[in-house]
Amino acid sequence: MRKQLDIYSFTVIFYIAMTLIANDLLIPSRLCTIAIGLLVLGTALHLIQKDKFILKKNKYNFFCWYLLFVGISVVAMLYSPDKSILNDSSYLLYTTAIILFCFCTLVDSYEKIIMVMKSYEWGSAILFAILFFTNNLISDERLGSNFAGNSNTFALFMMVAFFFTSWQFLYYEKDRLKKGIAGIIMIMNIVTVLLSGARKIIVACMIYVIILYLSKKDKMGRRHTIRNIVIICVAIMLVWQLMMKIPLLYEIVGNRMESLINQFLGKAVMIEGSSSYLRDEYRKLAFSGWLESPIWGYGYDSFHFYNSIVTGHNAYSHNNFTELLYNVGIIGFITYYFEYYRMVKLSIKSKVLPVKVLTIAGIVGVLVSEYGQVDYNLSIIAIFLFVLYKLNIFVRDNKLILFKWEKE
């Protein structure tokens, strides 16, 4: 029997919407805090009404994984140079744990998982409209730096919206109108990601959509590999030409992509003091430091203290892998990435191609983005992983209601 959306689902929708559009351009950012409060209140009322304070087996498994990581991080705070269990970084960690508990409680059906995905799709479309009509979409700066505080974090939100929207466009929507709308929103997502200038996230989006597109089958179960490869190559060349030929795009992202490709090919000349040079130094510094204390690391959120002593820059390592290794050691690192491994393992066994492709492409995309981003304490990635987890559990337990294409 199909579960319908209830009143509590709208607290989830409101939370997702506010995290995307409440940025003081048109909607006050304080609404994000209100949205979290309403989400927590909705969760509490749901538990009281349904008399579900006894945690059911499997329902909170995903939350328990993150809670274990939070526990390791709290212990690591005790021997961190800061020795504080409440600062900006740990606040994000605790908030993410609370939000995950709410999602595990309220998002308990296939329809609600699709609701989460569509909330990111439509939320990103509304954000694009706000940026466009407030004349903030195009400027001399990287998109997100002037209203989101950090263009890379902004790009991370847009990446997740793009992941969900492109999957719906290629695999979920069959109605032509809905498919067309998803395609338009997908293009909006691509534009915002490009204008953010976040190189690793741009590459992550490219790899993600390539995996999705090459894995797609037609109604007869056939893959048109050669045709799809040609289409992908044409699309990449078109985007590349736009980045290289349009002065504004070249200034924001084109020259950064050139630098990234040259680094990959070993042709880049690292200019001391440049962003690329510094980030490379931070990664090397974090990794070499971890080798001296590989088990426990040096304490939660401790790398920026060490970095400020060595380089004079109070900055994190700009790499999720080295940041985790340095801060919480191999124990924290394995704990965090174990869930990535478990989801890939689940998806490989899955007989539902759309879920398998979404999971593998999504995990690969996130891992690529994490080479240039620290996100282990951000709710946006935790929610994305939660969606992948729930879909795979529904498949494993035969609780996944038939997809539209399966009916056909």
Going residue by residue through the chain, which has 408 residues, state the pLDDT in tens, using 9 for 90 and above.
Answer: 345 567 788 999 999 999 999 887 778 888 999 999 999 999 998 888 765 555 565 688 899 999 999 999 999 998 988 766 667 778 899 999 999 999 999 998 888 999 999 999 999 999 999 999 988 888 778 888 777 678 888 999 999 999 999 999 988 888 889 999 999 999 999 999 988 888 889 999 999 999 998 887 766 556 667 777 888 888 888 888 887 878 777 777 777 777 767 666 555 555 555 677 788 899 999 999 999 999 999 999 999 889 999 988 888 899 999 999 999 999 999 999 999 999 999 898 887 888 999 999 999 999 999 998 999 999 999 999 999 999 998 888 776 554 544 433
| C-beta separation of 40 from 98 below 8 A | yes
Placement of tokens 């899955």 in the chain:
350
CA distances from 315 to 228, 279, 300, 304, 318 (A): 42, 9, 14, 5, 8
CB-based contacts of 195: which residues, under 8 Å, 6+ apart? Answer: 137, 138, 142, 143, 249, 252, 253
- Residue in 93, 63, 65 with CA at minimum distance from that of residue 327: 93
In this prediction, residue 2 carries a pLDDT of: 47
The answer for 318, left when phi > 0, alpha when psi is -120 to 50, beta otherwise, is left
CA 213, CA 210: separation in Å to the nearest integer? 5
**Cα-to-chain-centroid distance, residue 362:** 9
DSSP secondary structure of 338-382: HHHHHHHHHHHH-S-HHHHHHHHHHHHHHHHHHTS---TT-HHHH
In this prediction, residue 181 carries a pLDDT of: 94
Give me the phi and psi of 77, to 5 degrees please.
-65, -25
CB-based contacts of 73: which residues, under 8 Å, 6+ apart? Answer: 90, 93, 300, 327, 328, 332
CA 228, CA 213: separation in Å to the nearest integer? 7
User: With a threshold of 0.85, does the pTM exceed it?
Assistant: yes
DSSP H or E stretch at residue 299 = none
In this prediction, residue 205 carries a pLDDT of: 93
| C-beta separation of 21 from 133 below 8 A | no
DSSP secondary structure of 39-93: HHHHHHHHHHHHT--SPPTTTTHHHHHHHHHHHHHHHHHHTSSS--S-SHHHHHH
* CA dihedral over 261, 266, 271, 275, signed as positive or negative: positive
In this prediction, residue 400 carries a pLDDT of: 58
In this prediction, residue 63 carries a pLDDT of: 94
CA 260, CA 112: separation in Å to the nearest integer? 39
